[in-house]
Chains A and B, each alone.
Chain A
Amino acid sequence: MTEKLNVFAVRTLTQKEYFAPGHRACQGCAEVLAVRLVAKALGRNVIVSNATGCMEIVSSPLPFTSWRVPWFHVAFENTAAVASGIEAGLKVLMRKGRIPRKKIVSLAMAGDGGTADIGLQALSGALERGHDFIYICTDNEAYMNTGIQRSSSTPFGASTTTSPAGKVQIGQITWKKNMAAIAAAHNIPYVATACPSYPIDLVQKVKKAAEIEGPAYIHILSVCPTGWRSAPELSIKLGRLAAETGVFPLYEVDHGKYRLSIDFPKLKPVKEYIKLQGRFRHLTDDMIEQIEKRIRKEYEELKEKAAKGARDDSNRG
């Protein structure tokens, strides 16, 4: 219910920055904004395992770092494995009395390439083993750090350097992998989608993930002006449009129960989102219609699940 809150509500969040400014992210990068908000939400008692990718590169140009909390740069494949190990290690050290008992969050974070493609096996294992940790995927819909290569999270129709739009194909010819659904299929206690254009919602979801015992997965859509060929000053707006058009619905799956964070009575035309991005410039109205159809269908399916969640709630009284 807090998604629309802005102005004053954000000023009740901590003014402390655990992710320092001065990093090397591009102008208008919403991924780094997401990371800053995640860091704010978790505070000081967190240990981060961060896969290679933009967020790792921009935050740690030797000898500098943006991280004011313990942070590991890990390989692509093993982010969730390292985070599992940290959680298990902390548990043992506390049990043996080697460190004082207190809540320390083990946070794994990776981009969409690091999550939906390369780190998926380790992630699935960690979710299935039930480690008490948070996994955050900052999804900018391609391998951005190495120069915009497609991932399985790149949306249909987007032009990237490895799915170029031209005479032969229309850009990405596969549909975006639904990572949140894959995480939810592990029957973990908490899955959510978020976007830094909705800062209070994002922070509250991360806090909830930290409180809940067991694995939590949060998928954060992160507008990337460089890779999406969009104007840097439009990043926040694009994030909002993603939600308002139904392209990236904001929802939670809390112990198996779906809940839409915002249910727009009327979705905006997908074209409004698409037309602001150069990566979709080549799409014809027909193709956009095809995309919209699919997005509407997926949105309806999601609404159905959320309605079921609400029904179950009221039945239980």
Chain B
Amino acid sequence: MRRNQVAVVGAAETTKLGVIPDMSQIQLHADAALNAIADAGLTIKDIDGFATAVEQPQQVCHYLGIKPTWVDNTSVGGCSFMLHVRHAAAAIEAGLCKTVLITHAESGKSNIGRPPRAVGADSLNGQFEMPFGVAGPPSMFTIPVLRFLKTHGITQEQMAMVSVVQREWAAKNPRATMKDPLTVDDVLNSRMIAYPFRILECCLVTDGGGALILTSADRAKDFPQKPVYILGTGESVETPMVSQMETFNSSRAFKVAGPLAFQEAGIAHKDVDHLMIYDAFAHLPLYGLGDLGFMPHEETGKFIADGNTRPGGKLPLNTNGGGLSYMHSGMYGMYALQESVRQMRGIAPAQVPNAKISVCHGVGGMFAASGTVIFTNQR
């Protein structure tokens, strides 16, 4: 895909984040979508392309009154929205549509109008993982980490620093769910969920949503907001069964999607001013820094523990507070994208001064899928 041909011209989250007991999941989609459409200075009639995950496009399009000529329902977990950005950019360039709306919403906490997530007993996961007592992401996403830490010589104290540093970012963000400062001891002494993961190393469970609007870069200059261009993208999938990953020492999906985006963007790692790595659990930024090629995995624990990713550090990471402290409705990728867009517009609560390039990397399922989007505010 060519660089900087498509731009984000509208971006917004739901009016409220956190606990939203007065809205169903479909209405959270609509709330985020209407906010993003207003942000872009458009009306619903201007939207001719639509993408979402979990809910089917016809559900959200009919609810909002959208008549699309292009839809995408790629649903590979929390990074689905990174893939939607990639697919939408290709569709706009190919002339299949002009103005794409991407929505995410999840009543993750209040559980109102949320489709059940069932695993069939005769699926491969149902036969070869469920009988061994796995119960959702905290007991599955976490299984690779002891091998990862041992192979790369990373300590549990260093991993705990991921939570500590992200709380520093969250403290600067009025919309963050958790803002009180943390220490490594606080993290290590918090309630054990699935050894070695304590509760402060596991994502929040909240309600919310977000929406993006994309159009061609040539049209983008006529919109009210500063355009944020798509510089490069990548995607991949590996396996729905965490036990069947090629290795626990890295993520194959990360190692495909990340470098593909860097190659397409034509940038080097030193060019990156701002970085988002989807952090459903505290080990993910460690995997991401290594798999995206910022440094060998062996150095990632020390890099974070030394403060390089905290406010004022040389590689600002997860500047909204992340899934650990900002919010996590279940499919967090949309919120990482929103923060990258805010940083590129220059309006983030914890703004990185003069940031010109933002890398936004997502994970889906338990290392099942990955999507990377590289944004810039320079054309």
A and B together in one complex: no
A residues within 8 Å of B by Cβ? Answer: none
